[in-house]
Amino acid sequence: MESHIHNIANLFAQLGLANDSAAIDAFIAAHSPLPHDVLLTEAPFWSPAQAAFLKSEIAEDADWSAVIDTLDVQLRAAG
> pLDDT tens string for the chain (79 positions)?
445 779 999 999 999 999 999 999 999 999 999 999 999 999 999 999 999 999 999 999 889 999 999 999 999 986 5
Q: Which residues, 6 or more positions from 64, have their beta carbon under 8 angstroms from its beta carbon?
A: 6, 11, 14, 57
Fold designation for 8-77: Arc Repressor Mutant, subunit A (1.10.10)
**Structure pTM?**
0.89
Question: Where are the domains positioned within the chain?
Answer: 8-77
9 exposure class (CB count in 10 Å sphere: 0-12, 13-18, 19+): middle
Q: Whole-angstrom Cα distance, residue 1 to residue 14?
A: 21
